[in-house]
Amino acid sequence: MAAQQAAALLTALLAVLATHHGAAEAQPVNHTSSAARQLRGSGGGWLPAKATWYGAPTGAGPDDNGGACGFKHTNQYPYMSMTSCGNEPLFKDGQGCGACYQIRCTAKNNPACSGETKTVMITDMNYYPVARYHFDLSGTAFGAMARPGLNDRLRHAGIIDIQFRRVPCSHRGLTVNFHVQVGSNPNYFAVLVEYANKDGTVVRMDLKESNSGYWTPMRRSWGSVWRLDTYRPLKAPFSLRITSESGKTLVANNVIPANWRPNTDYRSYVQFY
């Protein structure tokens, strides 16, 4: 009898362990899949995250108004200092640069929280995450989640729980801008892509030379900067083709003129809608 009871107990224990092991494996897969769809899409459900802030209390983040994405003047339109570093699931090794997110915190998270939604853009990389999703916000963006008059009180919390979701970007009045990087020359051509509407992100970029019938793929150099290295001089003017995260493609014909210069902006006439 004792042997039969021991065998039954062992069988039950093995069944419980198998059930728990299967659940432990299945849950992260489903959660990751759901989160990935949410981050790729827009306007879906809210996900939990941690928020911190850096830089000046009412600033745009780093002192140079830039970051790991390459964007500058983030205290001006369309950024308006509402910017954030993102940890790797948000920054995506640069592919997340320019993505827009709604964020909010409630009184449950901190008594100073307003519960109102604010929109921020990923402009930098967060190298020391404190959670699976971590927004290291500018001082301005962090304080914007507070109730009226309690901005400093909320910032003094240092780290809080928030909710976030992906939303389309809206850069009214702006078309896609191409900034030719310092150091570019006919054998090394590097371009920063700015103000890509809707998705906010660019996942592919191609270049077509003057009187050429084919597109040459560029590669991501860092952040939102794309580059093309060649053994022979490139012949301008250049047309640039960009593809957004949702698969939409835009072509800016001859947007870089024959007499192009490094450290110069070349505004296109195209935009994602």
- Tell me which residue range forms the domain holding 144: 42-167
272 falls within a domain: no
CA–CA gap between residue 202 and residue 142 (Å, rounded): 26
The identity of residue 173, as a single letter, is G
Is 123 in the same domain as 214?
no
Provide the 3-class DSSP secondary structure of residue 203: strand
Question: Could you report the per-residue pLDDT of 140-150, keeping only the tens digit for each?
Answer: 999 999 999 99
User: In terms of domains, do 161 and 181 share one?
Assistant: no
- Is the distance from CB of 241 to CB of 250 less than 8 angstroms? yes
Residue 202 CA: distances (Å) to CA of 111, 152, 160: 38, 35, 30
Check whether residue 143 and residue 188 sit in a common domain.
no
DSSP secondary structure letter of residue 41: S
Could you list the pLDDT tens digit for every one of the 273 residues in the chain? 334 434 443 343 333 333 333 333 222 333 334 444 556 555 569 999 999 999 999 999 877 777 999 999 999 999 999 999 999 999 999 999 999 999 999 999 999 999 999 999 999 999 989 999 999 999 999 999 999 999 999 999 999 999 999 999 999 999 999 999 999 999 999 999 999 988 889 999 999 999 898 999 999 999 999 999 999 999 999 999 999 988 999 999 999 999 999 999 999 999 998
* Spatial separation of the C-alpha atoms in residues 85 and 160, rounded to whole Å: 15
Under 8 Å between Cβ of 218 and 256: no
Domain count, the chain: 2
With beta carbons less than 8 A apart as the criterion, state whether 197 and 238 touch: no
Task: In whole angstroms, give the CA distance from residue 200 to residue 271.
Answer: 10
| Residue range 121-177, pLDDT digits in tens | 999 999 989 999 999 999 999 999 999 999 999 999 999 999 999 999 999 999 999
User: In terms of domains, do 67 and 104 share one?
Assistant: yes
Domain final residue pick, 121, 136, 167 = 167
Q: Token digits for 220?
A: 């991501």
Residue tagged 């205290």 (tokens): 75
Among 116, 134, 167, where does a domain finish? 167
Calpha distance 202→98 (Å, rounded): 8
Contact assessment for residue 266 and residue 256, using Cβ atoms and an 8 Å cutoff: yes
**Domain identity same for 186 and 163:** no
6 lies in some domain:
no
